[in-house]
Every structure is written in structure tokens, then in C-alpha cells.
Amino acid sequence: MGLGLVPLPVETDSSVCYCGECARENPNGSFQAQVSFLLEHVIADRDYDPLARAEAITALGRLVGARYNTVPNDIKRGIVGTLHRVLDERSRQTQVVRESAILAFGLIGDADASHEDSWVRWSLRRAARSGKDFERRFALISLALTASRAGQGTEPWAATDEVRAELLQHLAQGLGGVRPWAALSLGVLEHDLRRAGQAPSVSVNTALEAQLRRARRSERGAIALALGLAGASERAATLNDVLEHERDPAAQSYAALALGLAGVGDAKGALDEVMLADEAHPLLRLRSGIALGLLGSQEVVPRLVDSFAQPMTEVHLHATIASLAQVGDPRAIDPLAALVVDTTKSPPDRVREEALRALGRLVEPRTLAWRSALANGANYRALDRETPGNVGSVLLEVR
């Protein structure tokens, strides 16, 4: 996985091996040598562990994604062709390898009309319609990522509207397990397009709001979060309704986060109230803190600090500390430091560790945590296969 974080220079006199069998004198000598080394672990007829193949594919996606607009076309074409063959049923690749190829396509492709990118999107559309389980879900996310990235051709956004329409179709007609992923894909698409300076889509926000109103309880959190990602501040009333009346704490917490992502400044009071409720669920407290931090609110900090004097479970204490870190007010530094060195109440080591992490975030704020490079494009499904049941803890660690 680490190889995907260190792209080497492209050498003009170097080539890539697409058979997986060529001898390599110096696999660390160039970008082409890196790609050849990784391709060997993907396509060579050897008994490589499926997890090694999966992580090699992830690293390939990261290498190309980090410089997708400068990778020579012949190399990109060769990698896309290889991943396309991985997804061919006749290749008989394991599920985790196939899922990794779909995720890698999301890092490699863009929205222009070039042959390579059209091929990427075709493969993802096929996987979204007829793939198995997570293949379909990951294909939707990868489609959104490719459509939100400008290509280098004469029509850099050629496929964006087409992909948006397809994702809207999956939202409207997909089965229960796919619909939340279609919603999140639309949220990711609109979020990244806004960051790229493209106009938002009113039709997406309208469709997401309509779906949220009739969604099952298990789907409501994902759709609310999608509205937040899409920047649908005009849908604040709908998100507030979920925050105040939804009985599922997870859905409530995602509605809270969505209000912060959408920049709904008028939601600060409601977020304060649900966050500081005596029986607030830890997820709701944490994500409300993130939302308030996104909205630039600091009024809640003294009340959070005062809550340290009240009895609370260790889980709620963790959430309160993490919320203080997310809000980002320096007034929290002294109370957190006191919690670390407190010898009278003897807080558990896990609480001290959480307080130390919060202090680090407060005294050296960054837009992204130092682990973000490791988390971006990480193959969580492959990690989960290696350590069953560990996805939740991995996500928590890289939040």
C-alpha cells in the first residue's frame, strides 16, 4: 500500500511490462519500474495471495491518481486494460481483487472523452448494474469520482451529465442496499464539482430530498449526509426535521453533520441543543461537534467543558473530548490538559489518550490530519479481510 504514496519520476527511456514476467534490474528506478513491479503482482501467473494482489491494485490506482493528468497515455491505457481484464468473469479473480480494481478505477479515471476514460466508465457502469454486492456499491462511488474530475482533452467535462443521470437512475430504481450508495455517490459528485468551480445541480438536491422523505430508517442517514455533501443549504428544513425527530441516533448524527457540511449557519442553536442533551448518543455528540466546527461556532465550548464535572460514561466522555477537538476553540486546551494530568479521578488511559489527541489537534490545527495521505484511497475491504471485523476501528483511526 505504501508504494502508492511515493510516485517516482517518469523516465523517457523506460517502459512498462504488461506481461508480469519481464526481468527488472531496478524496480525503484522510475515510475515505469514501479508500475511494472505492481503489475507483476496483479497479472503474473504465480501463487500471490489475493490480499497482495488487491493492495497492488490499490497502489496502482494511487500512483496514477496522484498525477492522473501527467501520466503518459500509453501507461494509463495499459493499466486500464489490465484492470478491465481483472473484472472479466473469465479471469476468476477473488472478490476482494475485483472490488479493488473498481476502487482503483475511481482514482484513475476522469470525465473527458478519451478512449481510456471512456473505457473506465464503461467498466464501472457494467459493475454497477451487474456486479456482486460491494462491486455495485463501489462502482457507484468510483463513477462519481471520475465524473467530478476534469480531463485533459478538448471536452474536460464530457461525461459529467451522463454519469449524474445514471446515478440518479440508481437512486430512483436501485434496491435497498444500493440506494444509500447511489445517494452518497451523488453527494460526492456534487461536492467535488463545487470544489472544482462547477455549478451545482438543482435536480440532484431535489431528488435526494424526495428520497429522504420516503426512505427507510436504515437509509436516512446516508441520504441526509449526501445532501450535506452536495451543499444543499436550501434543504435545511428537511435536515433539521431528521435531526430533531429521527429516532435512530446514527441517522440523527449524519443529519447533524450534513447541516455543517452544507453551511447552514442557522442550525447552530439546534446542534448545540442536541449535542448537550444529557442522554445524547456519543455519535450525535461527536458529529454535532464536527458540524459546529465546520460552521465556526464556539459558543458551545464552555458548556462542553462544564460537562466534565458531571457523571458520564467513558464512551460519552470520549465523544465530548473529540467534539471539543473538532470545534477547535483554544479555550478547551487547559481543561483537556488538566484531564491528562489529573491524578485524583484517575481517568482511564484511553481517555487520556483521547485528550492528548484532542490537544494535538487544537495546538497544531491542520486542514487534514497527518494520516489523511494514508487514509485517502485506502482499501478498507482488503484491510477487513486481513483483520476481520476491523473496518470500524480503521475508519475511526483515520477520521
pLDDT tens, residue by residue, 165-187: 999 999 999 876 899 999 999 99
More confident position, 283 or 309? 283
Measure the CA–CA gap between 153 and 45, rounded to whole angstroms. 36
Residue 246: what are its φ and ψ, rounded to 5°?
-70, 135
Instruction: Point out the least confidently predicted range of 51-65, 230-244, 335-349.
Output: 335-349
Contacts of 68 (CB under 8 A, 6+ apart): 76, 107, 108, 110, 149
Residues 343-365 pLDDT 10s: 776 678 888 888 998 898 888 76
Q: How many CB atoms lie within 10 A of CB 334?
A: 10
Q: With cut-offs at 50, 70 and 90, classify the pLDDT of residue 242.
A: very high
Q: Is the pLDDT of residue 157 over 50?
A: yes
Mean predicted confidence (pLDDT) in 191-214: 94
Q: 370 is written with which cell numbers?
A: 497527518
What pLDDT sits at residue 391? 35
Tell which wins on pLDDT, 166 or 374.
166
* Separation CA 188–CA 36 (nearest Å): 32
The C-alpha atoms of residue 234 and residue 179 are separated, in whole angstroms, by 22
Identify the pLDDT of residue 240.
94
What mean pLDDT is predicted for residues 12-22?
A: 78
**Of 106, 129, 126, 127, which is closest to residue 117 (Cα–Cα)?**
106
Q: Quick one: pLDDT band at residue 386, thresholds 50, 70, 90?
A: low
Q: Does residue 51 carry a pLDDT above 80? A: yes
Q: Are 321 and 339 in contact (CB under 8 A)?
A: yes
Residue with more model confidence, 168 or 94: 168
Q: What is the reported pLDDT for 371?
A: 56
Q: Which of 295, 365, 286, 368 is nearest to 330 (CA)?
A: 365
* Residue with more model confidence, 110 or 293: 110
Mean pLDDT value across residues 233-254: 93
Over range 200-209, report the average pLDDT.
94
At residue 102, the pLDDT reads 97
Task: Quote the CA–CA distance of 362 and 327 in Å, as a whole number.
Answer: 9
At residue 397, the pLDDT reads 34
Question: What pLDDT is attached to residue 31?
Answer: 86
Tell me: pLDDT of 256 over 70. Answer: yes
Question: Which of 251, 244, 232 has the alpha carbon at shortest distance from 272?
Answer: 244
Give per-residue burial for 128-165: e unless 16+ CB within 10 Å, then b.
beebeebbbbbbbbbbbbbbbbbbeeeebbbbbeebbe
The most confident of 6-10, 65-69, 134-138, 371-375, by mean pLDDT: 134-138
Q: Is the pLDDT of residue 12 over 90?
A: no
More confident residue, 368 or 325: 325
> Model confidence at 28, in pLDDT bands (50, 70, 90)?
confident
Q: Which residue has the higher pLDDT, 76 or 383?
A: 76
The DSSP letter of residue 368 is: S
CATH assignment of 298-370, among 1.10.12, 3.40.50, 3.10.450, 1.25.10: 1.25.10
Average pLDDT over residues 249-261: 94
DSSP state of 113: -
Per the prediction, the chain carries an average pLDDT of: 86
> What's the pLDDT at 225?
96
Max CA distance (Å), the chain: 68
At 69 the pLDDT is: 75
Task: Output the CA torsion 323→324→327→332 (10° steps).
Answer: 180
| Cα 114-120-123 angle, rounded to 5 deg | 135
With beta carbons less than 8 A apart as the criterion, state whether 97 and 55 touch.
Answer: no
- Cα-to-chain-centroid distance, residue 72: 27
Q: What mean pLDDT is predicted for residues 375-392? A: 59
Residue 347, C-alpha cell as written in the block: 481517568
* Cell numbers describing residue 2: 505504501
DSSP letter string, 256-279: HHHHHHTT-GGGHHHHHHHHH-TT
Dist. CA 143–CA 164, nearest whole Å: 9
Give the pLDDT of residue 367.
59
Q: What's the pLDDT score for residue 95? A: 92
Question: pTM of this prediction?
Answer: 0.86
Of all residues in the chain, what percent carry a pLDDT higher than 70?
A: 90
Please report how many Cα atoms fall inside a 13 Å half-sphere around the Cα of residue 75, on the Cβ side: 27
- The Cα 374–Cα 75 span in angstroms is 24
Domain residue spans of the chain: 1-108, 298-370
